[in-house]
């Protein structure tokens, strides 16, 4: 089983997600950004959904709060209504996406995880309470991978900057994580 957690709302990341979904064999979980802003992770419901999908044969999952610009604008509108800046909203969403990633990684121990967006990588490592990621290779240019340090989780962790890479960067990384030897 492999997970992608995209904390980036850049057009490049959204395009890469759409490309990957269009290739098939991957389940998209569009997490409501307002829930992340409200710190309402709904992790129990999400875990139940993932378990049901695994029983149906799904093995690759993408978790994001934004596939379209409209998804991004909804969160920023909600933030404005609460008197939050875009920066504060983005920070809260990243923090809670990192917490959600940690919950799912600890629960499912996926063989591979791609964290795309710098904030999501940092927030996930913090939420897992690990010391970092020991990088051992580069899957694609600018997409390093390695193992978490300071814990017993053995998932391969790859990271990618949100606004970086070709449209197939997420898809190719998932292929590597799925078929690596």
Tokens (6 digits) for 120: 């999501």
pTM tops 0.85, yes or no: yes
pLDDT of residue 43: 78
Is pLDDT of 2 > 60? yes
Residue 117, classified by CB atoms within 10 Å of its CB into exposed (0-12), middle (13-18) or buried (19+), is buried
Contact between 54 and 3 (Cβ < 8 Å): no
Structure tokens at 96: 């809670």
The pLDDT-based confidence of 174 (bands split at 50, 70, 90) is very high
pLDDT tens digits, residue range 117-163? 889 999 999 999 999 899 999 999 999 999 999 999 999 999 999 88
Please report the domains of the chain, with CATH numbers, ordered by start residue.
Answer: 2-179 (3.40.980.20)
What pLDDT shows up at residue 8? 87
The pLDDT assigned to 139 comes to: 96
């Amino acid at each position: 089983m492999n997970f992608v957690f995209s904390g980036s709302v850049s057009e490049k990341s959204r395009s890469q997600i759409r490309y990957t979904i269009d290739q098939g064999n991957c389940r998209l979980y569009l997490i409501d950004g307002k829930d992340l802003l409200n710190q309402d992770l709904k992790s129990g419901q999400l875990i139940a959904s993932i378990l049901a999908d695994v029983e149906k044969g799904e093995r690759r999952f993408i978790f994001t709060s934004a596939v379209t610009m409209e998804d991004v604008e909804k969160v920023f509108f909600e933030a404005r209504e609460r008197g939050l800046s875009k920066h504060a909203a983005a920070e809260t969403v990243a923090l809670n996406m990192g917490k959600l990633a940690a919950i799912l990684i600890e629960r499912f121990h996926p063989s591979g995880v791609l964290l795309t967006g710098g904030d999501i990588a940092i927030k996930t490592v913090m939420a897992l309470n690990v010391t970092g990621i020991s990088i051992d290779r580069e899957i694609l240019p600018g997409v390093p991978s390695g193992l978490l340090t300071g814990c017993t989780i053995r998932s391969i962790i790859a990271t990618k900057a949100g606004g970086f890479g070709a449209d197939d960067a997420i898809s190719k990384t998932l292929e590597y994580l799925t078929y690596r030897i």
